[in-house]
Amino acid sequence: MMSAEIFFITTAIDYTNAPPHIGHAYEKVLADVIARWHRDRGRPVFFLTGVDQHGQKVQQSAERAGVPPAEFAREITAKFKALWVKLGIANDGWAETTDLRHVAAVQDVLRQLHDQGDLYKARHSGHYSVRQEQFLTDKERNEQGEFGPEWGEVVFLEEENWYFRLSKYRPWLAEYLAAHPEFVTPAFRGTELANAVAKEAGDLCISRPKSRLAWGIELPFDRDYVTYVWFDALMNYATFAGYRARDGAGLPDFESLWPCDAHVIGKDILVPAHGIYWPVMLKAAGIEAMPKLLVHGWWNLGGAKVSKSAGNIIDPDVLADRYGTDALRYYLMRDIATGQDADFNEDRLRTRYQADLANDLGNLVNRTVSMAHRYRGGVLAEVGVTDAEAFALRELGIEAARNFDTAMEDGFRVHAALESAWLLITAANAHVEKSAPWKLAKDPAEAARLDGVLVALVEAARLASALVHPVIPAAADTLLEQLGFSGDLSTQWGRVRAGHRLGQAAPVFPRLESQES
């Protein structure tokens, strides 16, 4: 499934016009889980993420705050960065679009497109959405013939601007999509894109006059203009992967990374930005290998879109403080199906924490380690599979590991992967109840059977902890340590050796205080 030796993951870069919310956190955790899953299986990964610092939205927010846009973007950038550290996002590369290495590369591409005749200047008058930073056509009108609220403030503008000959590349894109169904995951989003490509016509306005918007990258061939924020921002995926970078710039080797194997974006920015502009920009710049887009759905609140103007922002920073990073990561991965939307609900987060993490996984490890200490002084005997039930648990473990990886390979369905791991956890807890080690311990004739039960439970708990490690890395590390398997992320069954020594049991998922809500 990998097109290069290094699995290259990237995410949409976040606007620095407002602090991060739960939707941003979800996307970063999803990408991080994919990255960690590859690393845990021993595959090299380069994970890039970052911030989109230019454009009208940022300029407007800065004006409202009464600070220069650079300063405003810097402050919001610091908030994103701190949150990613707190949420355990282990990215390898970091993109900031005000970075001069990026600016130089974007100008270089613009110069090339200009020189090869892909850009032209024209006068245009029409409706312009301030929020979406684009001219609107009749196609964007709703059934009532109006521009809906999603476009925000719409003004009438007449302007001379630079245009990119998108229409010239349209037939190529349509053919590419038909021949490469793997370009977009899930497939229904690919169909949506193909339909849009068949409909959409016209070229792309890639400039904004400085008189109206100064906060952007200057066109290298016309100093009165900056480039459209999307043209600038989309290029980050290549520039921070080393595209057109100078030696010694501290960026990766583009040839060994490109293209992205998992390019993680939300459903709102597939058409037209990532599904149309982006591949056409790459093609026009001379890059033939295209990324693979993974399009996720949205977290809503009470069925409504999470937005600052609706006043229903959920602060992931507060949630991480209240429940812990791993609890938040787990909820965000478990209660949404990749590609679909979900409704955020803090009660569900609490329930999942209590039921899945504390009662199922936490309890399995805790009782396993405690029993090993109580009955065997924390040291296990080497035993093969002793009875039919332990054999069944082993079979289940092997199947869980296989199903976990299949779910990840097939559309990064993290929720389904977690379900597989939980089948094993549930079965292991049932095995405790059924084999009742506390009874076996009382009967010397059952000593071998008790050894077998303990070994099977340690195996199951270790394997489950290793499987969930990409989702709840800190907790999984602690669980593995308690099981005496620090740093062992193998997903094979059968790691216990004669004389295996367990660590000490301690609660990893403390009970929630009832007054917290």
- Sites of contact with ligand MSP (CB under 6 A): 12-15, 23-24, 26-27, 52, 233-234, 265-266, 268-269, 298-299, 306
Instruction: Give Rg (Cα) of the chain.
Output: 26
Shortest separation between residue 342's beta carbon and ligand MSP, angstroms:
9
Q: Least distance from C-beta 137 to ligand MSP, angstroms?
A: 21
Structure tokens at 431: 């095995």
Read off the DSSP letter of residue 141.
B
Tokens (6 digits) for 341? 């939307």
Query: In the complex with ligand MSP, which residue's Cβ is closer, 26 or 330?
Result: 26
Nearest approach, Cβ of 301 to ligand MSP (angstroms)? 8
Please give the Cα distance from 287 to 316 (Å, whole number). 37
Nearer to ligand MSP, 45 or 301 (CB): 301
Least Å from the CB of residue 268 to ligand MSP: 5
Residue 296 makes CB contacts below 8 A (sequence gap 6+) with 26, 27, 30, 264, 265, 266, 267, 338, 339
Q: Which C-beta is closer to ligand MSP: that of 329 or that of 500?
A: 329
Residue 513 in 3-state DSSP? coil
Whichever of 147 and 299 has its CB closer to ligand MSP, that residue is: 299
Q: Indicate the SS3 state at residue 156.
A: strand
Strands 342-343 and 304-305: unpaired
Closest CA to 319 of 350, 362, 281: 350
Whichever of 295 and 466 has its CB closer to ligand MSP, that residue is 295
Q: CB neighbours of 390 closer than 8 A, spacing ≥ 6?
A: 431, 452, 453, 455, 456
Minimum gap (Å) between residue 336 Cβ and ligand MSP: 9
- Minimum CB separation of residue 486 from ligand MSP in Å reads 35
User: Which residues fall within 8 angstroms of residue 443, CB to CB, at 6 or more apart?
Assistant: none
Instruction: Write down the least CB distance from residue 510 to ligand MSP, Å.
Output: 29
Rounded to a whole number of angstroms, the minimum distance from the CB of residue 294 to ligand MSP is 10
DSSP secondary structure string, 17-74? TS---HHHHHHHHHHHHHHHHHHHTT--EEEEEEEE--SHHHHHHHHHHTS-HHHHHH
Query: Which residue's CB comes closest to ligand MSP?
Result: 266
